[in-house]
Amino acid sequence: MTFGRLERNTGAQPMSEINVTPLVDVMLVLVVIFIITAPLLASSIKLDLPRTDAAKPNTVPQFVTLVVDRTGQAFLNDQAVSAEQMAQSLRQSAMQNPDTEVQLRADQLVPYGRIVELMGIAQKAGLNRIGFVADAATEPAPAVRP
């Protein structure tokens, strides 16, 4: 009785190539991290500043809010004021801090002349920094026809 040769399955052959897909994934994540953090690292300069009693910490910029409603009534820091009261209050603010900013909030229906008048009062009081506050547009403004 002859038995034939039993064939053996040699099994899986070992891979002789390196799988680079995980390596590429890790490298791409590292590149993204470096792209995000590089501008933050480049903008900071580490200094060891000398100490002195004369140095004052930076103060937060001060501002006053000037609101003009549809009727042209002016409100300074949410208080209704006349032109004379506003001029006096703005002068006091300018004497305390000449860099005080006037944040101007005006209704759309207020005439331009009234806005210019209030800006003039602020400038005469010594406050030259005037910021105009507006709401963000929800849709693009219509084109102006010539």
* Model confidence pTM above 0.85: no
DSSP-assigned letters across all residues of 88-144:
HHHHHHHHH-TTPEEEEEE-TTS-HHHHHHHHHHHHHTT--EEEE--PPPSSPPPPP
Q: Is residue 34 part of a domain?
A: no
Contact call for residues 98 and 68 (beta carbons, < 8 A): no
- The whole domain housing 109 covers 63-132
CA 39 – CA 125 distance, rounded (Å)? 42
In this prediction, residue 4 has a pLDDT band, given cuts at 50, 70 and 90, of: low
Structural domain includes residue 117: yes
Is it the case that residue 58 has pLDDT exceeding 80? Answer: no
User: In the structure, what pLDDT confidence band is assigned to residue 133 with cuts at 50, 70 and 90?
Assistant: confident
**Domain total for the chain?**
1
Residue 50 pLDDT > 80, yes or no?
no
- How far is 64 from 130, CA to CA, in rounded Å? 10
Does residue 43 lie within any of the structural domains? no
Q: What CATH number has the domain bearing residue 79? A: 3.30.420.270
Q: How far apart are CA 37 and CA 44, in angstroms?
A: 12
**Does 114 fall in a domain?**
yes
